[in-house]
Each structure stands twice: as structure tokens, then as C-alpha cells.
Amino acid sequence: MMNERASGILCHISSLPSPYGIGDLGPEAYRFVDFLAKSKQKYWQVLPLNPTEDALGNSPYSSFSAFAWNTLLISPDILYEEGFLERKVLETIRSGECSDIDYSQAQRVKTGLLKSAWSRYSSRSVKLKGFEQFCVEQAYWLDDFALFVVLKNYFNNQCWAEWPVEFRDRDPKSLKEFSSSHADDILREKFFQFLFYRQWMRLQEYCSQNGVGIIGDIPIYVNYDGVDVWVNPGLFKLDKDKRPTFVAGVPPDYFSEDGQRWGNPLFNWDRLRDTGFAWWVERVRHNLLFFDYIRIDHFRAFAQCWEIPVDEKTAKKGAWKDVPGIELFQTLKEKIPQLPIIAEDLGIITQDVDDLKEKFGFPGMAVVLFAFHNDYKKSRNFPDNCKPLSVVYTGTHDNNTVRGWYDKDITKEEEKNMLEYLGKMPDSDSINWVMIEMAFKSMANLAIIPLQDVLGLGAEARMNKPSTARGNWKWRFQSGILSRSRVEKLKRLAQACGRAIF
């Protein structure tokens, strides 16, 4: 597992260029694969692809389903190619490229297009093979997901816990009657997921043909107001009224003096153990249909989780609680012998987390932006200290860009340590390549660079600022910016550092 030196680029699908308000699985995604192949980058890492919600800031880490896909990322251009749209409709909705993602426009445009596509399919104006087979093969999550979406719409987007008790508690007779009377709406939701599935599988095949692997990302937790908790309330720490008793987060750290109170319900690990961890086995297996590797966010919560009483407003008064991570991953290894997981082990990591990661051979992470804190020569993020079985990043979706950090956030201590290490301070225009070179030259077998750092962009291109609810997840790049000079520079660096493996 990950035993050869390679490199790749982190760029979410939503950040690709597009005239439809948000990046998608269309032509620009294929151009990005071409860019990766030409620059000798082996991997494309994306953020979670699950549905997002405007009410939750459009965070890909906050979804109402751990299994479904974000239909905002469906390509109108491919829908046109397949006969679902007329050329004049496509031209009408084109808005030209904008600097940031416009979620409102994307939601408005995609909702109309998807309904039109369904109308043409259901009226047999367009033939599309494989939908029935998809519904059968994906029924383990698709049936409940489609029903949940239709119920949410029927009850004016109320939280499922506020639904009439027969629907809240999933009374079989009531669900059967509702499903029968809303069969067309439920089938439509399944069709939307099928459209994403088709487009993703087509892109995945193109990646494979060009020697590019895909690294996916899954959050450890799920949203309370989501299909996973509605279907499996016993797998979460809920009271008799199915309300959370404790919620997830992390204690005070580098990002926040109050810690982070995420609000997700915590898992009932005793109940999960009783089921043979079936939900987790299904979730991991499901994601490995779509990705070559999966990065699991907040891996440390498989050793201990930060348990916050639900009535606490901040994360300060939480407590660490043991989690049966060893039992979980032993079960996963039995079911899925090749378990290509990357452990997000950033922050304050205790020995039990390292032991868990190393027991199962999961590569951990290092971030060069964290390398020059304190006694930097002993830091696990210092590139010279990276182990071969690890993934080194210049930064992640939660960090400022390298240039943004250098221009605005670097501390006096970090300046001193960097000067000591480099001998002289780089200028702002070159700092991104200095840090990329550090990552590429490290012993870590895999180096992943956010596209913003390849482009040398500043704080305006930051993807997310933890503990802030709005203004995040909007960045995307403009078509044509992936120039030949950047391709050549990345390729030369990959070759020089022994990472150009194809």
C-alpha cells in the first residue's frame, strides 16, 4: 500500500471552471486530468462528494447522507451530449465564469435541468441503459435516501425528528403507503443519483486510462438531520425522543480557543460492535467503488472521541471517550483485505492514535505549514522528519494558502526557524514553490499539493476557515490558468524528486 514515491494535486470538483455557477464533472474535469498526466502527477485528491446544504454553509463535510452524491456537480454539457437538453437551453443558462462559486445560481440552474432530464427520460424521449440495474445494485442506501428526500420536501424541510411519529419512527405501513403514493417522486430522486453515478464512472475511467488515481475524502461523522440517523437511530447516542445526548467536536487548539463544536451526533459504538460494524463496512466498501484511496477525516476519533454534552455552547467542557477502533479496523480488514485508507491525524495526536494507525499500516499526514512551530526539528510536520509511509501536504482545505500564510499569518518564531533552516527568507512570489519543493523532497512516499499553492495564490483563495459558518467553500480557478510553464515546472520537480512514476 502506497509503497512508491508519487505526488498529486488537491482540488475539489466544485473548484473547476464552469459557466454554470459551480465546477462539475464535465469537460473541465477531463482537462484537469490531462493537466495531471502531463505534469506527472499520479493522484487527484477531492473533498467529500456528498450532498451539501446552503443552511450549513455548503460544507462538503456536512451532509445529510453518507452514501449519496452531490447533484450540483452534474455536468449540463454531458446532459446535452446525452440528449437530455437542447442547445438553446444550455446557452440560456450559461452565465460566464465568475471568480467564486455561486451556490444559489448553481442550485437554481441544476434543479431545473435535472427535472427536465427526468421529464425526457420518464416520457421515453431519451433512452438510457442501466438505470434499473443501478437501482437494484445501490438499493442498500438508495431506497432510504430517495424516500428521505421526498419526505423532507413533503414536510417543508422539517428535521425528521419533527415529522409525525409514524414517519419519525419509520412505521412500515406508513412508509409503504407514502412510497406508493409518491412513487414517481422517489424514482426521480434515484434517477438524479444515477446521472451523477454515470458521469463519475465515466470520469473515473478516464483517470484510470491516464494513470491518475483518485483520493476521496469521507468525514467520520454524519449530520443529525440526515438519512443515516433517521434510518439507524440506534447507532447513535440519542435519548428516548431520538434527540442527541452528546455531540462531536474537538477541544481548544491551534484553530480555536473555544475548540470546535461540530454538533454531529456521536456513534453508539457498543451498538455498532453488536452489528459487526456493518454500517461502517458498508460505508467504506461503498466509497471504494468510487475512489482508489479514501482519506478519513478526524482519524483520531477512532481511538478516542471528544464528547460534548448537547447543552454546552462551546467545545470546552467535553471529555475524551474511548472508541473500539482496533476492533473496527480488524473487522474492515477481514471484509476488505486491501484497505487503502489515509489517516487524517493532524493536531494533538496521542500515542494510542499512532499505535492504531501503525497497527493497520495506514499512512498519516504531515503539513508543511505547521512545520516551523516551536522546536521545529522535532516536529512530525517538518519535511525532514516525514516517514515513507505518510502523505505530506503544503496545506489542506482548512489552512490558508502558502502565500496567504506567508503574507499575513506567519509568526516571528516561524520566521526565525525558517530563516535558520533555509539560510535566507524567500520572497512572497516564490514561497509557494519553496514549500512545494520541501514536500516533494521529503521521505514521504506521497506528496499532495493544493492547486492554490501550485498557482501561488493568496488568502483570497483559501477554501475554509474553521469555526466560521459562512464565506467558505467558494474558491475556484479560471480556465486557461493551468499553463504549459506550470505543467513543465511540476513535471521537472516530480522527476527530480523521484515522483514521476509514469
Q: What is the pLDDT of residues 411-466, one digit of tens each?
A: 999 999 999 999 999 999 999 999 999 999 999 999 999 999 999 999 999 999 98
Cβ neighbors of 80 (< 8 A, separation 6 or more) are 86, 87, 90
pLDDT in tens, 334-379: 999 999 999 999 988 899 999 999 999 999 999 999 999 889 999 9
Through-space distance between the first and last CA atoms of the chain, rounded to whole angstroms = 17
pLDDT in tens, 172-202: 999 999 999 999 999 999 999 999 999 999 9
The separation between CA 473 and the C-alpha centre of its own chain, rounded to angstroms, equals 11
Give me the mean pLDDT over the 11-22 stretch.
94
Helix (H, G, I), strand (E, B) or coil at 244: strand
Angstrom distance (rounded) from CA 252 to CA 170:
38
**Which residue segments constitute the domains of the chain, with CATH numbers given?**
6-496 (3.20.20.80)
**Is 90 exceeded by the pLDDT of residue 88?**
no
pLDDT band at residue 222 using 50, 70 and 90 as cut-offs: very high
For residues 402 and 395, the answer to whether their CB atoms sit within 8 Å is yes
**C-alpha closest to that of 116 among 144, 92, 142, 95:** 92
Residue 320, sorted as left (phi over 0), alpha (psi -120 to 50) or beta, turns out to be beta
In this prediction, residue 473 carries a pLDDT of 97
**Is 70 exceeded by the pLDDT of residue 312?**
yes
| In the chain, % of residues over pLDDT 70 | 99
Average pLDDT value for the chain: 95
Helix (H, G, I), strand (E, B) or coil at 135: helix
Name the helix (H) or strand (E) containing 447.
strand 446-450
**C-alpha closest to that of 53 among 41, 37, 64, 39:** 64
In this prediction, residue 417 carries a pLDDT of 96
Active site residues: 297, 344, 398
Cβ neighbors of 219 (< 8 A, separation 6 or more) are 48, 61, 62, 63, 297, 298
Cβ neighbors of 22 (< 8 A, separation 6 or more) are 14, 72, 73, 101, 102, 103, 106, 476
pTM (2 d.p.): 0.96
In this prediction, residue 472 carries a pLDDT of 96
For residues 8 and 36, the answer to whether their CB atoms sit within 8 Å is yes
- Provide the grid cell at 147: 424516500
**Is the Cα dihedral 138, 140, 141, 144 positive or negative?**
positive
Name the helix (H) or strand (E) containing 29.
helix 27-38
Burial class for 386, CB neighbours closer than 10 Å (0-12, 13-18, 19+): buried
Residue 124, sorted as left (phi over 0), alpha (psi -120 to 50) or beta, turns out to be left
Angstrom distance (rounded) from CA 278 to CA 379:
37
Count of H-run helices and E-run strands, the chain: 19, 12
Give me the mean pLDDT over the 292-307 stretch.
97
Cβ neighbors of 416 (< 8 A, separation 6 or more) are none
Angstrom distance (rounded) from CA 219 to CA 200:
20
